[in-house]
Each structure stands twice: as C-alpha cells, then as structure tokens.
Chains A and B, each alone.
Chain A
Amino acid sequence: MELRELISQSFSSLTLNKVRTGLATLGIIIGIGSVIALISLGQSSQKAVQTQIQSLGANLLTVIPGSQSSGAVRGAIGGANTLTYDDALAIETSSQITTVKNVSPEFSRHAQITAGRNNTNTQILGATPAYADVRKLNIASGVFITDRDVEGLSKVAVLGPQVVTDLFPDKTNPIGQFIRINNQSFRVVGTTVSKGGSGFQNQDDIVYIPLSTAQKQLFGSSYLSSISVEATSDKVMTQAQNEIGYLLLARHKINDPASADFSIFSQNDILGAASQITGTFTALLSGIAGISLLVGGIGIMNIMLVTVTERTREIGLRKALGAKKRTVIWQFLVEAIILTFTGGIIGIAFGVLASYVISYFIKLPFTVAPHSIVLAIGVSGIIGIVFGWYPARKAANLQPIEALRYE
C-alpha cells in the first residue's frame, strides 16, 4: 500500500473518534510546547546575560583582590584587602604596561540611602572619571564624577536610573537635590542612562560618588574593591592580563603566580561562567519538559493500545481481506506518527506563543531557537515510532480467526 494511501486511511480512522484523538494529542502538545518554550526562554536569558556583559565592553579586564595566603590559611576570593589606589596608578603609568588604555579604581559597599521620606539600600560605588569611559557609562543628565570631585573629596553623587525611581518616585528632577548616605549629605550632580540588567547584578541600581570620598569620608578604608582596566583592543586581552599580573605580583612581592593575592577576569571569563550557569538551567528545565514529553508519548501508546483492542475485529477483517502483517504494522504506526506529529506542530505553535508571552512579561528579548523546533519535530516523530511500535506489532500479530471471533 502506498504511503499516501496509508496516511489518508489513518486520517479517516483518527477522525472517527475526535475527542480521543484530541486528548491523545494534548499530551504531546504540552510536552513539545514546554520543551520549545523552555529552550527558547533559556536562550533568551543567555542572550540577555551576554548583551549585558558585552555592554560593559569586550576589552574590559577586572582586577579583584584575591585569596590572600598568610601561612597555610587561604582567605576567600575578593574578601581580602590587597589592592590599593597606588596599584591602579601603577597599572596606568608603568612603562612595562603597553596594552592598557584606561584604568578605573573602584571601591564598592552597600549602604542605606535616603532622600526625604524615601529610602533604599543599594550599592555605593566610589569611582574616578575613568569609570565612565572604562564601563561605557552614559550620562542622562548633569555630569559624572570629575577629577576635581576626587581631589576635593566632594560630597556629590551620580544616580543610576533605578535609584532615581526609588528615591524620587514623584518624578522630581533629582539634579541639585540632596540625598543622605550613611547620614552624610550628598548633592546629586548627575544621572546615568539605563544599562539594563536584572537580579543581583543590576547595573542601574547603583550610586556613584568620588572614590576618595567613599574611601576616606564614608567607609574609612584605603583599599580598593576592584580595578577595571580597559585594554587598547580586544585582541590584546591575554597580553594585558599578563602584563598587569606580573606588575602586581612584583608590586606585592609575590614570586609564585599560584599564590597571587588578586585575580584578573576578562569579560569573556565572566561571560563563559554566566553562559554555563544559564546553560545548566536551560538543560535542567528542558529535562523536566522532556519528562512531560515522555508522559505524552506513553499517553499515545495507551490510546493506541486501546484502539488496537477496540478494533480487533477490524484488524481480523483486514487480514482476511488480504492485509499483510507489515501493512497492519504500518497502518497503526502511521496513525501514531500522525498523532504525535500533529501534536508536535501544534506544540511548536503553542511553545512559541508561550515563550513570547513569558519573555514579554519578564522583559527578556524574544527569541525562538530554530534548533529547538527541529528537535521538537524529530522527537515527536521518534515518540510516534517508539510508542506506536508496540501497539502496531500487537495488532499485526493478531491471528485473523481470533480477531474475527473477538466480541
């Protein structure tokens, strides 16, 4: 029997019981739909993290104080006080360093800030003017921290857009207003353009103040939280990383690079780590969706088995009229494949729609992973074959006499 004929025959027997066919397909629709939605959402969030990190600049290096070893005790990464303003100055001025364009020393703490009756707890970042260049930060209104501010320990602040919304919900112009950080008064001189981002790494929920003010007036520390370094191009990242590494090792009088008291990350390192995390999440969620797909497949098998039992007489008759074993196998297999395939197609539409709606609500870029669609079609076809095979074989192995006698 020709394939086209098999398909048209399978369609007519599937349409005989529309409710059952619909319910059988539903399992596959949900399974495929959730796989598509979750893979697409995983990709969107991966992409979002990528653009966020890349918006910081592809030639950005970050030096953070690292695990400082004193004797046999190794401290936590980032927890040590090892980087100083002089280190940053040396990176900028040393003759050994040829690949660095800009250096931004940074000091960061969380603090409670208030403006009138509104208050928020956010990141206070002590910075120099270089920060705006290195981090590709744009000013929305007013000005950023100037050299004069840093030299004069000025009590001025530049607000990220999230802080503006939190502190000035009535939309008054924050420029010229005063805010209090740890009970010290700061004048707002500028606001920044949103850089996007979400969660614990929100680049918009931040207050910039002069580095000197942060260190000396506010938090009383002479160390740095990090040094951001802009390399001359993204092709010399490794060289820049090495140059800075050797300079700091020499300055800190450490011979063995393995016991360095600082770490240097490029954006690519962070990107890689972040991608790995989102990738793991995507895989995990897809695994869960895969389970629902499996359950859907078992549903198909269940329906096909019921169908075989119910149509025992029909199978017997078909065999008596000359249907060969493989013809019967094909008939039932094609029915199962049509069920899963139709379910797959509807599931794709459903999944794309779902990921569109979800990414709209959680403000992610909407992407549909083409490979997830190919995967879904393939998987639904395979499910049809795998779960259709057993019932089909059962049907084909029925003896025509037994089948004809069946009541």
Chain B
Amino acid sequence: MIIVSHISKVYKNDSVETVALDDVSFEIKDGDFLAIMGPSGSGKSTLMHILGALDRPTSGTYILDGENVENLDEDELADIRNRKIGFVFQAFNLLPRTSALKNVILPMVYAGIPKPERENKAIEFLKMVGLGDRISHTPSQLSGGQQQRVAIARALVMNPSIILADEPTGNIASTQAEEIMAIFQKLNGDGRTIVMITHEEDIAEHSKRIIYLKDGKIDYDHHNGKQKKIRLNVKLNLK
C-alpha cells in the first residue's frame, strides 16, 4: 500500500526554480497494476524516483507499507530499496561481464542472505522468467528481452512490495516487449503491485490503471476498463 499525499518536488538550479511535481496525491493499493504516463518533462521520472526511495520530495509525505519515507536516513532508504522495491530500468542496468546468476544474486548480497540460499533463490527466479538455461550467460550474450527478464528476476528476488518499472520496454524489440508485459500481467495476477512508467499508449494499455501527468500535476487518473490481456507465448514457471 502506497500513500502519496501533496508531494511537490522543486529543483533549484542557479536561482532558477523548476517545479517538477506540484502537489500530487494518490494511493496505490496492493495488487494494482499502475501505468504512469505523460510527455517528457511532465514529472513522471521524478515521481518514479520518489516512489523508488531514490530521491526525497521537497514537501509532502510518502508512506510505503506504513513507513514514512521522509523520516529515513540514507542507509535506511538503501534498506527500503533493498527490501521493498524491485527496480526494472529501461537500460536494464545489469552488471556488465557478470553472469545472469550473479546479477540476480546482487540484492541478496546487500540483504545479507546466506550464500547457499542466495544461489538457489536466484536460480529459482531465473527459471521463473524462463532463463533457467541461461544462468551463466553474461548480459552481452543475451538479447534485450532476455536481459530485461534477468532484471525482472533481480527485481523479484527480494520479494518486494512493489515493482517499479521505468520504461521497461523502451530498449527492446516489440515482440519481446509483449513477453515482458505478459510477465508483468502474470506477476500482477499473482498479487504483486506493479508501477510502470511509459510514454507508449499500447504498453500502458496492459495496465489496470493509468495516471496521466502533465506539468507536474495529475491530469487524469482512471481505471483502465479495456485492459489488454495477452496470452503468454513463452513458457514461464510463474507460481
């Protein structure tokens, strides 16, 4: 459960103030699948950073699972990111020249999970996204879609409250983008909360709810009645 109330973000640069977010309030219930849309400069990346505990709002409160993020110091924020948020980036952001397995293991290293458990869990999640036969491949040996699936496995492995995806299909071919959306829908069907930033209408179509930002304000926020369901054409071992 996410509660965002009256959040503003103002960037100061050489005495020029830029308002990126202007008094934004909304809630995200557990199990929702939200797409945040808007033109560039509308504040959607800023909102994403605040939701991901990567940045703090200038004013307003952000409550994630009952915890007020505002009051946390840098290390506690790192902990929140580690335990409660699973990031999926547009550029995948996998460690180069490092195996898929090690990439998925990384968040568990920071969480201090014992070594044998880590490996088993990482393999389990890689199998889940259909990459059980690619665990020792490095990012450069994988396609864009496969890399993003490694990133999704990495985002899932700590069992986070929400998955935050920033233009998850921006860097991959459209057929593979469908696969990623299928995985998100399946994960959402299993009760996971997904927040996805995108500027592509047809990607946003896959979500249950769409928030449209404009000039740092919510332009509209509606239930996506015509959610586009896709059938999986990849074999996934989703639980």
Contacts and interface: CB of A to CB of B under 8 A. Distances in A.
Contact of A317 (B52, B93, B158): B93
B109 to A, nearest CB: 6
A325 B81 contact: no
B95 A317 contact: yes
Given A16-B97, A320-B54, A404-B93, A325 B79 contact: no
Contacts of A327: 110
A66 interface: no
B112 A321 contact: no
A317 B139 CA distance: 15
A327 B110 CA distance: 8
Given A1-B110, A16-B97, A325 B54 contact: no
Contacts of A9: 109
B110 A401 contact: no
A319 interface: yes
B106 A325 contact: no
A323 B87 CA distance: 14
Contacts of A317: 93, 95
A322 B78 contact: yes
Interface string A253-264: 000000000000
B17 to A, nearest CB: 19
A322 B54 contact: no
A326 B55 CA distance: 19
B78 A314 contact: no
Given A1-B112, A314-B95, A318-B106, A324 B55 contact: no
A404 B55 CA distance: 12
B75 A320 contact: no
Contact of A322 (B97, B98, B111): B111
Interface in A1-37: 1, 5, 9, 12, 16
A320 B81 contact: yes
Nearest to A321: B107
Nearest to A16: B97
A83 B79 CA distance: 89
Contacts of A161: none
| A contact residues, range | 20 to 34
Contacts of B134: none
A99 to B, nearest CB: 76
Contact of B87 (A5, A313, A314, A321): A321
A391 interface: no
B147 to A, nearest CB: 13
By secondary structure, the A interface counts as: helix
Interface string B89-116: 1000101111000000011011110000
Contacts of B110: 1, 318, 321-324, 327
A321 B81 contact: yes
B89 A404 contact: yes
Contacts of B111: 322
A326 B83 CA distance: 18
B74 interface: yes
B52 A320 contact: yes
A118 to B, nearest CB: 72
Interface string B124-153: 000000000000000000000000000000
B67 to A, nearest CB: 15
Contact of A401 (B49, B79, B112, B158): B49
A400 interface: yes
B61 interface: no
A404 B107 CA distance: 16
Contact of A1 (B89, B93, B97, B109): B109
B83 A322 contact: yes
B79 A400 contact: no
Given A5-B109, A401-B54, A324 B78 contact: yes
B107 A322 contact: yes
Contacts of A323: 78, 110
Nearest to B89: A404
B81 A322 contact: yes
A41 B34 CA distance: 74
Contacts of B93: 313, 317, 320, 404
Interface centre among B49, B54, B89, by most A CB within 10 Å? B54
Interface string A320-362: 1111111100000000000000000000000000000000000
Given A314-B95, A322-B78, A322-B83, A400 B54 contact: yes
A94 B135 CA distance: 98
Given A1-B109, A9-B109, 16 more contacts: A317-B95, A318-B110, A319-B78, A319-B81, A320-B93, A321-B82, A321-B107, A321-B110, A322-B78, A322-B110, A322-B158, A323-B78, A325-B74, A325-B75, A399-B55, A400-B54
5 contacts: A9-B109, A325-B74, A399-B55, A401-B49, A404-B54
Closest 5 CB pairs of A and B: A322-B82, A322-B110, A321-B107, A317-B93, A324-B75
Interface of A: 1, 5, 9, 12, 16, 313-314, 317-327, 399-401, 404
